[in-house]
Structure 1
Amino acid sequence: MKTTIVQDICEGRIDAAVVYRSDLVIAFADHDPINHGHLLICPVEPYESLMDLPTHVDSEIQRVAKLLYARVMEHYQPDGISFIQNNGAFNELTHYHLHLFPRYHGDKFGWSSSGLGVQSIADIKKQIAPLCIEKT
């Protein structure tokens, strides 16, 4: 069975700049960072998506994310921090990973819209009605 890059890092087959390690979670610097201080927070086990994470592992990831957020803010003093987590075809590692990266005014990081344009609240409410968990 093929291992993921994260498993290879956890098992020492690939070197990484690790900033946190427990039995459940590992966090390390991204090798192709958006900005200095760009980190990946991952479960040690090869869960592929957010939906695969057991609650206790997800809780540990969120706890570590908050700790590292504070440290990155103190050390790099960015204007803010972004988190991104990709699933499905957009998870190039096939191993769950949460990106944490410092952001600075003018850093040119961003995303582009698909071109839908600004929509009315009425249209948006109709579009998302099937997603509602509770009646609003």
Structure 2
Amino acid sequence: MKTIVEQIVNREIEAVIVYESKDVIAFADHDPINFGHILICPTYPYESYIALPEQVLLEIQSVARDLYTRIENAFEPDGISFIQNNGQFNELSHYHLHIFPRFCGDKFGWESSDLGVQSIEKLRQSLARL
């Protein structure tokens, strides 16, 4: 079964495409955080960040940099966010990088677990396996 991104690449699903090459496509998120919310994806269905070939990753980063400037100029946001999920949190089963304008009061937020603020020692211990 094709991913949603593959269906967009093959023009089986309509999308507002803002960039496309042989390896990378960028299009408007159909359920945006704010207008200007774009997904940047490889055209091949790599599932995770680590699976991306180096040249595809570099192109995605180049497109993200260009779109950052275009979003900034078009929407004049208070900030710009990037989000990328892997594993069970990648609901498309196809790598995608979200880039979207942020505005004070837009109600988009980060909800942390109940860990709370940690001491430097606890953080050091938690990362010792790296």
CA apart distance, 1:122: 1.1
Corresponding residue for 2:81?
82
CA apart distance, 1:111: 1.6
Q: Deviations over 1:96-135 (max 9, x none)?
A: 000001001111101211110111011101111111xxxx
Q: Mark the runs of 5 or more structure 2 residues left unpaired by the alignment.
A: none
Q: Distance in 2 between matches of 1:114 and 1:123?
A: 16
Q: Mark the runs of 5 or more structure 1 residues left unpaired by the alignment.
A: 132-136
Corresponding residue for 1:118?
117
Q: Distance in 2 between matches of 1:109 and 1:47?
A: 28
Q: Distance in 2 between matches of 1:8 and 1:33?
A: 19
Q: Deviations over 1:48-69 (max 9, x none)?
A: 0001100000000000000000
Q: Distance in 2 between matches of 1:12 and 1:21?
A: 12
Corresponding residue for 2:35?
36
Q: Distance in 1 between matches of 2:64 and 2:112?
A: 27
Q: Distance in 1 between matches of 2:89 and 2:2?
A: 18
Q: Distance in 1 between matches of 2:100 and 2:110?
A: 15
TM-score by length of 2: 0.99
Q: Which runs of 4+ in 1 moved over 2 A?
A: none
CA apart distance, 1:23: 0.5
CA apart distance, 1:43: 0.2
Task: Give the secondary structure class of the aligned counterpart of 2:13.
Answer: coil
Q: Distance in 1 between matches of 2:111 and 2:66?
A: 30
Corresponding residue for 1:98?
97
Q: Distance in 2 between matches of 1:33 and 1:113?
A: 22
TM-score by length of 1: 0.94
Corresponding residue for 1:10?
9
CA apart distance, 1:19: 0.1
Aligned residues: 130
